[in-house]
Amino acid sequence: NPHIIHLYGVSFDPREGVSVVMELGVRSLHSELNEIWAERREISPARRVAYMGFAYGIDHAHRNGIVHRDIKPENSIVFINSR
């Protein structure tokens, strides 16, 4: 699904812990929204589409039995015209 970040691999080392290799995102939804609110500006159409992608990705995951147990803006990566 294009609205879910790509996971390339996971490894575990007893000394280092868990390592996750995943696609690099642009920034968190939290930082995006804080910037928009601080500047009191309107959300651009491109950003609205990107934010809707977040909702579509969550919907897709839920329909496939995957539940993210900590959904919040800080854990949401935004891609704007970068894929």
- For residues 60 and 4, is the Cβ–Cβ distance under 8 A? yes
Give the pLDDT confidence score for residue 80 in this predicted structure.
55
Give the pLDDT confidence score for residue 15 in this predicted structure.
94
Question: What pTM was estimated for this model as a whole?
Answer: 0.59
Give the pLDDT confidence score for residue 83 in this predicted structure.
47
* Per-residue pLDDT tens digits of the chain, which is 83 residues long: 777 778 899 999 999 999 989 887 777 788 888 888 888 888 888 788 877 888 888 899 999 998 888 888 787 877 655 44
- For residues 3 and 56, is the Cβ–Cβ distance under 8 A? yes
Q: State whether residue 42 is helix, strand or coil.
A: coil
- For residues 63 and 15, is the Cβ–Cβ distance under 8 A? no
Q: d(Cα 6, Cα 24) in Å, to the nearest integer?
A: 9
